[in-house]
């Protein structure tokens, strides 16, 4: 047991078998989850229309339409668009800092009777562009 | 450590030290994401180096399958170990970056699912290759080392094949002018080079260590094996 290449806790046969089984179980779990929910992380506004009933929970993604953000302390709203369809999203309180007009956002929420998605979580989906902040000309 | 390995280590360290001022000060912070975007200079090289490691596992496993090279067996294991650690680093830096810019630590989108799956496949490879005692066992593990590489394109293209929270690729995308600030590009390229050199050194160094341990005949991890030479042990050599 003086194998200095590998520490003993990981060279024990039991530990390796345990880790092997855990990794296989993890892979199987990921596979089942992916087959169950699909690999799409969110739905687009166009996909939402007609396929979702009021009361259903949805994860909706799109671009925050410039000029659509209305923030108050009690409730804020914004419009998510995929270019073809617009969906209004409401959020209790002020929007999280990650929401930016013209950038992507993904919301978790519930579709209400009036077609508005009442969001309880909003995350940013940023683009693949990396730019320096615009120079402030004096 | 051989002279070549010493040079590799020195070159890797020098490039990484030279990268630091670029990554931390010279390159601008991103207009949308702010300073958190600097995590790119850890996250991207870690993911890239993990891909390279799994490429090395593929090549070494093929070599072992065809010529039963002891050296290739050690290189494959060493590269898989480094690759799993780098995958963990990729997920860790990605999680911190996500918390700072996305507003969530963890999102089970296709990029994260496939990355976790990739790591698990090589954990399976490593545990199995540590368990096998026969030449046939080693061949089976090497098959996993070969087939497992399929997870690498799966991870890379996950952001194009499925709708993810993670953004599509900036650099390794079919575009002649990647949408990245030139100074950020320099910092990123330097960081990728530094990580690549250090990873190559670490895998080479580790492979020698594993090989030395194997040829000394020291590692009989399970005390149940008789100390006299058995058929299984002969096959293992």
Q: Please state the ipTM of this predicted complex.
A: 0.86
Would you call A102 helix, strand, or coil by DSSP?
coil
Q: What is the pLDDT of residue A2?
A: 44
**pLDDT: which is higher, B230 or B145:** B145
Q: Which residue is it, tokens 């739905």?
A: A43
Q: What is the pLDDT of residue A51?
A: 82
pLDDT tens digit sequence for B42-70: 999 999 999 999 999 999 999 999 999 99
Interface residue A14 vs chain B (CB under 8 A) = no
Size of interface A-B (CB pairs under 8 A): 143
B83 phi and psi angles, rounded to 5 deg = -65, -40
Chain-chain contact of B128 with A129 (C-beta, under 8 angstroms): no
Rounded-to-integer distance, Cα A31 and Cα A107, Å: 25
* CATH number where A80 lies: 2.40.50.140
Concatenating the DSSP letter of every residue in B135-174 gives: HHHHHHHHHHHHHGGGHHHHHHHHHHHS--SSPPPSSSSS
* Residue A13 in contact with partner chain B when CB distance is under 8 A: yes
User: Cα torsion for B176, B180, B185, B191, to the nearest 10°?
Assistant: -110
What confidence score (pLDDT) does residue B44 get? 95
Query: What was the pLDDT predicted at A123?
Result: 93
Answer yes or no: do A103 and A50 share one domain. Answer: yes
Residues A60 and A77 in one domain: yes
Q: Quote the pTM value.
A: 0.88
pLDDT at B237 > cutoff 50: no
With pLDDT > 70 as the criterion, what percentage of chain B qualifies?
A: 89
Q: How far is A53 from chain B (nearest CA, A)?
A: 22
Pick out chain A residues at pLDDT < 50: 1-2, 138
CB contact residues (below 8 A), chain A span 16-75, against chain B = 16-17, 19-20, 23-24, 26-27, 30, 33-34, 39-42, 44, 61
- Going from the C-alpha of B101 to that of each of A91, B17, B72, the distances in angstroms are 19, 27, 42
Pull the structure tokens for residue B56: 């090395």
The CATH number of domain B3-25+36-168+180-215, selected from 1.20.120, 2.60.40, 1.20.1740, 1.10.3450: 1.20.120
Better-predicted residue by pLDDT, B128 or A35 = B128
Give pLDDT, residue B189. Answer: 94
Q: Are residues A58 and A101 in the same domain?
A: yes
What distance in Å separates the CA atoms of residue B206 and residue B201, rounded to the nearest whole number? 8
> C-alpha distances in angstroms, A19 versus A11, A83, B29, B83, B130?
11, 47, 41, 17, 11
Does A78 reach chain B within 8 Å, measured CB to CB?
A: no
Length of chain B: 237
Residues A89 and A70 in one domain: yes
- Strand ranges for chain A from DSSP E: 57-64, 75-81, 86-92, 104-111, 117-125
Looking at the structure, tell me whether residues A30 and A80 fall in a common domain: no
Residue A137 lies in a domain: no
Q: Is the pLDDT of residue B169 over 90?
A: no
**Does the pLDDT at position B23 exceed 50?**
yes
pLDDT (0 to 100) of residue A53:
85
User: Residue A3: inside a domain, yes or no?
Assistant: no
Q: How far apart are CA A7 and CA A127, in angstroms?
A: 43
Burial class (CB in 10 A: 0-12, 13-18, 19+), B36: middle
Are residues A65 and A109 located together in one domain of the fold? yes
What pLDDT digit, counting tens, does each position of A81-106 carry? Answer: 998 999 999 999 999 888 889 999 99
CB B124 within 8 A of CB B72: no
**Is the model's pLDDT at B233 over the cut of 70?**
no
Domain of residue A99: give its range: 45-125
Q: What are phi and psi of A63, to 5 degrees?
A: -90, 135
Are A28 and A53 members of one domain? no
The structural domain count of chain A equals 2
Residue B230 confidence (pLDDT): 47
Q: Could you report the per-residue pLDDT of B182-231, keeping only the tens digit for each?
A: 999 999 999 999 999 999 999 999 999 999 888 776 544 444 444 444 44
Q: Are strands A57-64 and A86-92 parallel, antiparallel or unpaired?
A: unpaired
pLDDT at B67: 94
- Burial category of B6 from C-beta neighbours within 10 Å (exposed 0-12, middle 13-18, buried 19 and up): exposed
Question: Are A59 and A81 contained in the same domain?
Answer: yes
* Nearest CA-CA distance, residue A114 and chain B, Å: 27
Q: pLDDT per residue over B24-48, tens digit each?
A: 999 899 888 889 999 999 999 999 9
Would A136 be classed as within a structural domain?
A: no
Predicted pLDDT at A138: 47
pLDDT at B217: 62
Percent of chain B topping pLDDT 90: 71
């Amino acid at each position: 047991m003086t194998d200095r290449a590998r520490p003993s806790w990981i060279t024990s046969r039991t530990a390796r078998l345990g880790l092997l089984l855990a990794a296989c179980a993890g892979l199987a779990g990921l596979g089942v989850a992916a087959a169950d929910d699909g690999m799409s992380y969110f739905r687009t506004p166009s996909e939402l229309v007609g396929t979702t009933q009021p009361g259903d929970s949805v994860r909706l993604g799109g671009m925050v339409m410039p000029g659509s953000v209305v923030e108050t302390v009690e409730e804020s709203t914004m419009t998510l668009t995929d270019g073809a369809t617009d969906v209004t999203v409401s959020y209790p309180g002020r929007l999280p800092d990650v929401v930016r007009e013209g950038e992507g956002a993904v919301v978790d929420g519930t579709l209400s009777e009036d077609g508005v998605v009442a969001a309880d979580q909003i995350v940013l989906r940023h683009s693949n562009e990396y730019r320096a902040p615009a120079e402030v000309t004096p | 450590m051989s002279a070549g390995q010493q040079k590799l280590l020195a070159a890797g360290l020098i490039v990484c030290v030279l990268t630091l001022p670029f990554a931390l000060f010279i390159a601008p912070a991103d207009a949308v994401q702010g300073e958190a975007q600097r995590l790119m200079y850890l996250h991207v090289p870690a993911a890239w180096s993990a891909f390279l490691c799994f490429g090395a596992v593929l090549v070494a496993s093929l070599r072992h399958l065809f010529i039963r090279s002891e050296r290739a067996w050690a290189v494959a294991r060493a590269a898989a170990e480094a690759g799993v650690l780098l995958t963990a680093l990729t997920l860790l830096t990605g999680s911190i970056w996500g918390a700072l810019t996305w507003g969530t630590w963890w999102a089970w989108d296709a990029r994260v699912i496939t990355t976790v799956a990739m790591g698990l496949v090589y954990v399976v490879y490593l545990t199995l290759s540590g368990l096998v005692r026969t030449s046939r066992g080693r061949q089976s593990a090497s098959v996993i080392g070969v087939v497992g590489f399929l997870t690498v394109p799966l991870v890379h293209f996950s952001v194009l094949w499925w709708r993810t929270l993670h953004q599509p690729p900036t650099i390794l995308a079919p575009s002649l002018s990647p949408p990245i600030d030139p100074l950020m590009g320099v910092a990123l390229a330097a960081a990728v080079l530094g990580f690549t050199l250090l990873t190559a050194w670490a895998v080479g160094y580790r492979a020698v260590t594993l090989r030395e341990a194997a040829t000394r005949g020291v590692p009989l991890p399970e005390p149940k094996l008789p100390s006299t030479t058995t058929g299984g042990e002969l096959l293992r050599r």
